[in-house]
């Protein structure tokens, strides 16, 4: 099926606001399914576009649930997916669906595989990291710099709050580089495929809100010490913040970006203890 021709003849106009840069190379689409280890089961795709990745996924999965916000793609998807009975298309904004609505559609165990619109990257990843109970993995095509941030190691410029939030519940790897020329139309940035395999029991994060606040505070002022960031973020005196840093066993002048994910968990638990005193 010539997707580009179909889009042209149906008079489809790309909507930049929705991040519409489609993948059409069949081999690459198959490779993304393999990157995600799709082998039966259910896949959630966010942003079906013209249905190219959807078609590939439907060959490997038992069931594909695909969201697409743009009504103008509905009739194109009806053509490209006409011979795919295991695909359910939901026309709508995925962000307007609660996680429980999504998980009712996808069931108790599913993988997320998507070439996501760039404007949704942060919010979507945070939602699946923090709210999903049933997604076993994310395999996402994202802007190259974002992929590097998600998989970053401590003490690098890419390491930040989203890195820690995701790596606290998942093992994250950049698995493939995608030069911009592979997209139609060609965007201004290169991309990469990143996988996050969830291990939600990796750490005991009973108070997610406090963990989030700790991480946010630690990265709030990158040039300041962790001590100053924690004092400002929690309204602690310098002495109290220093006592917390010492109790964690960290250097007094360390910075948030130097802490490993494990050390962030130690910090959050210590703050939790301090707050309960
Ligand atoms: N999966 C297709 C592909 O790989 O060729 C399309 C990927 S394109 C980068 C992202 C798609 O997400 C677009 O079709 C866009 O209309 C859709 N989209 C954007 N925001 C959305 C949202 N909030 N909910 C559902 N779909 C969305």
Per-residue pLDDT reduced to its tens digit, 248-260: 999 999 999 999 9
Domain that holds residue 105: 3-198
Indicate the number of domains in the chain.
2
Whether residues 41 and 159 fall in one domain = yes
- 49 alpha carbon – ligand 1 mean position (Å): 5
Whether residues 77 and 136 fall in one domain = yes
CB of 46 within 6 A of ligand 1: the answer is yes
The confidence score (pLDDT) of residue 277 equals 81
Average pLDDT over residues 28-42: 98
In a domain, 85, yes or no: yes
CB of 115 within 6 A of ligand 1: the answer is yes
Cα distance between residue 175 and residue 130, in whole Å? 23
Q: Whose CA is nearest to atom 12 of ligand 1?
A: 47
In a domain, 89, yes or no: yes
CATH (domain of 270): 1.10.8.100
Contacts of 236 (CB under 8 A, 6+ apart): 230, 244, 274
Whether residues 229 and 168 fall in one domain = no
Whether residues 51 and 75 fall in one domain = yes
| Ligand 1 atom showing the smallest separation from residue 29 Cα | 4
The confidence score (pLDDT) of residue 266 equals 98
In a domain, 161, yes or no: yes
C-alpha distances (whole Å) from 15 to each of 48, 69, 121, 266 are: 14, 11, 17, 45
The confidence score (pLDDT) of residue 222 equals 86
Contacts of 96 (CB under 8 A, 6+ apart): none
Cα distance between residue 144 and residue 231, in whole Å? 34
Pocket test for ligand 1, best of 4, 69, 125 (most atoms within 8 A of CB): 69
Per-residue pLDDT at 82 exceeds 90: yes
Average pLDDT over residues 23-30: 97
Whether residues 181 and 259 fall in one domain = no
Per-residue pLDDT at 269 exceeds 80: yes
Whether residues 96 and 121 fall in one domain = yes
Average pLDDT over residues 6-18: 95
pLDDT band at 174 (very low <50, low <70, confident <90, very high): very high
Q: For the range 22-26, what are the long-range contacts, defined as Cβ-Cβ under 8 Å and sequence gap of 24 or more?
A: 22/49, 22/50, 22/52, 22/115, 22/183, 22/184, 23/49, 23/52, 23/53, 23/115, 23/141, 23/182, 23/183, 23/184, 24/52, 24/184, 25/182, 26/56
Where among 178, 198, 218 does a domain terminate?
198
Q: Which strand (E) or helix (H) includes residue 229?
A: helix 226-234
Do residues 139 and 193 touch, judged by C-beta distance below 8 A?
Answer: yes
Cα distance between residue 249 and residue 263, in whole Å? 9
Per-residue pLDDT at 42 exceeds 90: yes
- Mean pLDDT for all residues in the chain: 97
Whether residues 123 and 60 fall in one domain = yes
The confidence score (pLDDT) of residue 262 equals 98
Contacts of 126 (CB under 8 A, 6+ apart): 162, 165
In a domain, 32, yes or no: yes
Q: Whose CA is nearest to atom 18 of ligand 1?
A: 47
Per-residue pLDDT at 216 exceeds 80: yes
**pLDDT tens string 104-128:** 999 999 999 999 998 999 999 999 9
Whether residues 151 and 27 fall in one domain = yes
Considering only CA atoms, give the Rg of the chain. Answer: 21
Where among 198, 222, 253 does a domain terminate?
198
Q: What is the pTM of this model?
A: 0.96
Per-residue pLDDT at 1 exceeds 80: no
Whether residues 59 and 180 fall in one domain = yes
C-alpha distances (whole Å) from 135 to each of 72, 125, 128, 249, 258 are: 29, 12, 7, 35, 30
| Ligand 1 atom showing the smallest separation from residue 15 Cα | 16
Cα distance between residue 176 and residue 160, in whole Å? 21
Whether residues 244 and 179 fall in one domain = no
C-alpha distances (whole Å) from 203 to each of 28, 50, 208, 209, 266 are: 35, 39, 11, 15, 10
Average pLDDT over residues 94-101: 98
In a domain, 41, yes or no: yes
In a domain, 203, yes or no: no
Kindly give the residue spans of alpha helices, DSSP state H, lying in 46-143.
52-60, 74-80, 99-106, 121-130
Is residue 25 classed as helix, strand or coil in its secondary structure? coil
**pLDDT tens string 220-239:** 998 899 999 999 999 999 99
Where among 198, 233, 259 does a domain terminate?
198
pLDDT band at 44 (very low <50, low <70, confident <90, very high): very high
Whether residues 66 and 160 fall in one domain = yes
Whether residues 235 and 142 fall in one domain = no
Per-residue pLDDT at 136 exceeds 90: yes
CATH (domain of 81): 3.40.50.150
In a domain, 265, yes or no: yes
Per-residue pLDDT at 208 exceeds 80: yes
> To the nearest whole percent, how much of the chain has pLDDT over 90?
97
In a domain, 250, yes or no: yes
């Amino acid at each position: 099926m010539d997707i580009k021709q179909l889009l042209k003849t149906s008079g489809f106009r790309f909507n930049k606001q929705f991040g519409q840069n489609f993948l059409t190379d069949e081999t690459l689409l198959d490779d993304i399914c393999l990157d995600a280890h799709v082998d039966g089961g259910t896949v959630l795709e966010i942003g079906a576009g013209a249905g190219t990745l959807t078609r590939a996924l439907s060959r490997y999965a038992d069931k594909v649930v695909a969201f697409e916000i743009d009504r103008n793609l509905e009739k194109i998807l009806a053509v490209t997916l006409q011979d795919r009975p295991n695909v359910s298309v939901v026309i709508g904004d995925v962000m307007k669906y609660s996680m429980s609505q999504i998980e009712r559609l996808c069931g108790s165990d599913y993988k997320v595989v998507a070439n996501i619109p760039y404007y949704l990257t942060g919010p979507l990843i945070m939602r699946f990291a923090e709210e999903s109970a049933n997604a076993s993995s994310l395999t996402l095509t994202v802007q190259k710099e974002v992929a590097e941030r998600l998989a970053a190691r401590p003490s690098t410029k890419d390491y930040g709050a989203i890195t820690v939030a995701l790596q606290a519940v998942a093992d994250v790897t950049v698995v493939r580089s995608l030069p911009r020329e592979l997209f139609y139309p060609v965007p201004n940035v290169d991309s990469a495929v990143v996988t996050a395999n969830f291990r939600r029991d990796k750490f005991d994060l009973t108070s997610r809100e406090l963990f989030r606040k700790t991480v946010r505070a630690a990265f709030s002022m990158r040039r300041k010490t962790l001590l100053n960031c924690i004092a400002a973020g929690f309204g602690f005196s310098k002495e109290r913040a220093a006592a917390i840093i010492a109790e964690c066993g960290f250097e007094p002048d360390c910075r948030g970006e130097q802490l490993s994910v494990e050390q962030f968990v130690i910090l959050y638990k210590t703050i939790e203890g301090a707050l309960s005193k």
